Amino acid sequence: MKSIAFSSGWLSLSLIILLTSVSAIPHNIPRLSVFDRTSLRDLSDTIPAFVWDDLETYFYNQTLDHFNYNPQSYAIFKQRYVINSKYWGGANKSAPIFVYLGAEAPIDGDIQFTGFLPENAPNFKALIVYIEHRFYGQSVPFGPVKKNQGYFSSAQAIADYAEVILYLKEKLSAHYSPVIVIGGSYGGMLASWFRLKYPHIALGALASSAPILYFDDIIPQNGYYSIVSKDFKEASESCYETIKQSWSVIDEVASQPNGLSTLSQRFNTCYPLSDSFELKDYLDGLYSRAAQYDRPPRYPVTVVCGGIDGAPNGTDILSRIFAGVVAATVNRSCYVNGHHNYSRDPYGDWDWQVSDNEVGDGGGSGPVMAAEFAVMVVMELDGSGNGTWL
């Protein structure tokens, strides 16, 4: 699987508030280039109806290329932004503007999940602005994405945000309204970068669950997976052990004659497995997502382990793993492949962004988007924090 997007989980995780304390942020900021991520969301969450009230959608004529002076740089594309002015105290009161920086998905989902903004806006009498990230949703530059992929970078994206914010402040005569940029996950990285790069535009940034330090030489190489492993171990030692042992069992079965069809049967796959990696990749994604979004009320790690541990005594490892899969997924007639076509993201291409070193290092040595994205660097869950690269 290739696509894990964050969802509202980030709100419950740590908040890093970068108000005026820019000096506290290491200036070891990664180089910026192109990137994107997937739009798969945890849509099982209830979406509060109120968020759709009072929203107005606009399109800004955005500059394709903020950093060059070629004729094509001045091409424009429509960038979507959405405003909620219900709570705003107005320009005359210098009431603040909360700007939600879209990340690697259409902005609609973010609006649904970021209750944080409408919840806090009344206290601050804030205007809320959500801006969609270029190359996602309805903010895709003309022509085939590939053709313009060179413009698909976080540096361009935050320059987009700067333009839209300045335009809105002008349009609303809100010259004295302080701007706070807000983002989660990759969007949180953008928020912190924005505050660093455009301190004259944003008075502060709120970066929620943003892996701003998840880069080479800062965190242990296998940081993400050691946390996933730890989560499972804490939930259930036996579950963790079963998962740990399962990788070699899968390999062993796969190496036997008709091994893949055995695995396909055991896991009730929708289509015959093309290789054992397909299964391991799926499981890896399942566990990683469970850990990443291990929040109430469902606590997916507990759910997966409930399936694995809950199988009757004497159940073999593969069946236990399958029981975990079944427990974690809603009713399905088949599993593993076929239900989500992870190979395609209709909106953008997070994998490409990540592998292009914008946000992470697809090679695995470096800035893997820890909190975001587990699977572009696939490794086995070995529990020691010393995973095996596949």
Q: Which of 338, 346, 365, 389 binds ligand NAG (CB under 6 A)?
A: 338
Cα separation, 1 vs 266, whole angstroms? 19
The length of the chain is 390
CB of 63 to ligand NAG, least distance (A): 11
Could you say whether residue 56 binds ligand NAG (CB under 6 A)? no
What is the separation of C-alpha 68 from the centre of its chain, rounded to a whole number of angstroms? 29
Out of 14, 341, 346, 363, the only residue in the binding site for ligand NAG (CB under 6 A) is 341
Binding to ligand NAG (CB under 6 A): which residues in 345-364?
none
Which stretch in 209-217, 248-256, 287-295, 339-347 sits in contact with ligand NAG by CB under 6 A? 339-347
Q: Which stretch binds ligand NAG (CB under 6 A): 3-11, 213-221, 233-241, 340-348?
A: 340-348
Q: Does 343 bind ligand NAG (CB under 6 A)?
A: yes
DSSP 298-326: T-HHHHHHHHHHHSPTT--HHHHHHHHHH
| Rounded Cα–Cα distance for residues 385 and 16 (Å) | 25
In this complex, which beta carbon is closest to ligand NAG, that of residue 28 or of residue 61? 61
E strands along the chain, which residues?
A: 15-18, 55-63, 76-84, 97-101, 127-131, 179-184, 204-208, 379-380, 388-389
Among 72, 92, 245, 261, binds ligand NAG (CB under 6 A): 92
- β-sheet bridge partners, residue 128: 84, 98
Is residue 344 close enough to count as binding ligand NAG by CB under 6 A?
Answer: yes
Residue 129: closest CA among 187, 66, 55: 55
245 contributes a contact to ligand NAG by CB under 6 A: no
Contact between 94 and ligand NAG by CB under 6 A: the answer reads: no
Q: Which residues pair with 127 in a beta bridge?
A: 97
Of the candidates 56, 144, 330, 333, which one interacts with ligand NAG according to CB under 6 A?
A: 330
Residues that bind ligand NAG (CB under 6 A): 61, 90, 92, 312-313, 330-331, 338, 341, 343-344, 384, 386
